[in-house]
Amino acid sequence: MQEYFGFREAIMSDDEMSAFYGGERDENIYGCLQNEYLVLKNMEGQVCDQFKWDGSHYIKVPFKQINTRFIGKVKPRNLQQQLALDMLYDQDITVKVLVGKFGTGKDYLMTSAAVDQLEKGKYDKIVWVRNNIEVKNSKPIGHLPGDYKDKLLPFAMPLADHLGGVEGLEYMLGQGKVELVHLGFIRGRDIKNSIIMCSEAENMTKEHIQLLLGRVGEGSSLWMNGDYKQVDGDVFLKNSGLILTVDKLKGHPRFGFVKLLKTERSETAAMADLLD
């Protein structure tokens, strides 16, 4: 089965490009699923434009930049990040998924977009959910000291990294703008007007993600990210909730997905690929 990327490419001649802009945007001649992106390239392979199929016609994807009090100015560094930001700001999409290897910007883009929409009053808070799985083959450190929040804090550091550190995260917690939740305690919740954000979703089963979907109340949306390759338990290899979610929900009008392809963290981070 061909992997779904959330976007596909179309190489067009000048005549085909003219026909597309002249009226073919109302016809799904490229067979895109709903909310799937179409990247237009010329015969030399250069990217010319980006569109999204909304179920009835192709909509042009604008170039989006973010400016938040915590994170500052954020702009996409590559084509897939541009598509990802468009998806994250689509209010009609209530289940949003980003996948990609380390350093592609999954948490960075999600946190930036979430904080921006929080500051603009689109949502009341971010509910940060983690299945507290330690990295495969690392030694567990035992029971962490402190109260419920203290125990969850180490697993929320991807969020803290983009809020100015622990101090920024503590501030948002104190303001009631961020809530840290252990996956094991989320059953029965009805979470309204919030972004339910789940990092490292490759470490979740089908049942875990079904549980999360069932918590999405009025005005809320579920944002998940992960890396298919960074799985930290055999159970998640046999029962990958993230892979199943993408496979079963792609094309649903409420579902959006983009696979990020390029490491943008640093040249050193990109060297991890050389060990494969």
* pLDDT at residue 138 tops 60: no
Instruction: Check which CATH number belongs to the domain holding 39 and give it.
Output: 2.30.130
C-alpha closest to that of 113 among 144, 140, 143, 91: 91
Is residue 207 a part of any domain in this protein? yes
Angle at 33 between CA 28 and CA 37, to 5 degrees: 85
Together in a domain, 15 and 118: no
What is the Cα gyration radius of the chain? 19
Domain count across the chain: 2
Handedness of CA 170, 90, 189, 141 (dihedral sign): negative
Together in a domain, 22 and 122: no
| 203-254 confidence digits (pLDDT tens) | 999 999 999 999 999 999 999 999 998 886 788 888 899 999 999 999 999 9
Instruction: Check which CATH number belongs to the domain holding 98 and give it.
Output: 3.40.50.300
Section 90-94 average pLDDT: 97
Together in a domain, 39 and 147: no
Tokens of 234: 């055999």
Together in a domain, 41 and 102: no
* pLDDT at residue 270 tops 80: no
Per cent of the chain over pLDDT 90 is: 71
Section 132-147 average pLDDT: 48
Together in a domain, 176 and 198: yes
pLDDT at site 145: 55
Together in a domain, 157 and 33: no
Domain that holds residue 44: 7-59
- Which of 29-43, 44-58, 229-243 is the least confident region? 229-243
Query: What gap in Å lies between CA 31 and CA 2, rounded to an integer?
Result: 14
Contact, 40 vs 51, CB < 8 A?
Answer: yes
Tokens of 200: 């490292």
Who wins on pLDDT, 152 or 76? 76
pLDDT at site 116: 95
* pLDDT at residue 60 tops 50: yes
Residue 32: is it exposed, middle or buried by C-beta count within 10 angstroms (0-12/13-18/19+)?
Answer: buried
Section 125-139 average pLDDT: 66
